[in-house]
């Protein structure tokens, strides 16, 4: 299964109530695992859901059959 990598803007669009500013702050503080490509923060979709919904969150959306 291919991992989906998101920009801050894409991550903010996925989760209602989270702004780009808040996601950026989570990246800077280390609360949201991410990496940088140039000046952009990139976030694994799986890490986003775990940071927001809890460490044991397992998203079941039919991707892994």
Q: What is the pLDDT of residues 2-61, one digit of tens each?
A: 889 999 999 999 999 999 999 999 999 999 999 999 999 999 999 999 999 887 776 665
Contact 44, 5 (CB under 8 A): yes
- pTM (2 d.p.): 0.79
Closest alpha carbon to 4 in 36, 41, 38, 48: 48
């Amino acid at each position: 299964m291919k991992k989906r990598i998101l920009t801050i803007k894409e991550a903010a669009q996925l989760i209602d109530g989270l702004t780009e500013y808040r996601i950026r702050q989570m990246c800077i503080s280390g609360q949201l695992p991410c990496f940088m490509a140039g000046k952009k923060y990139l976030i694994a979709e799986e890490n986003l859901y775990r940071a927001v919904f809890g460490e044991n969150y397992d998203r079941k959306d039919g991707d892994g059959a």
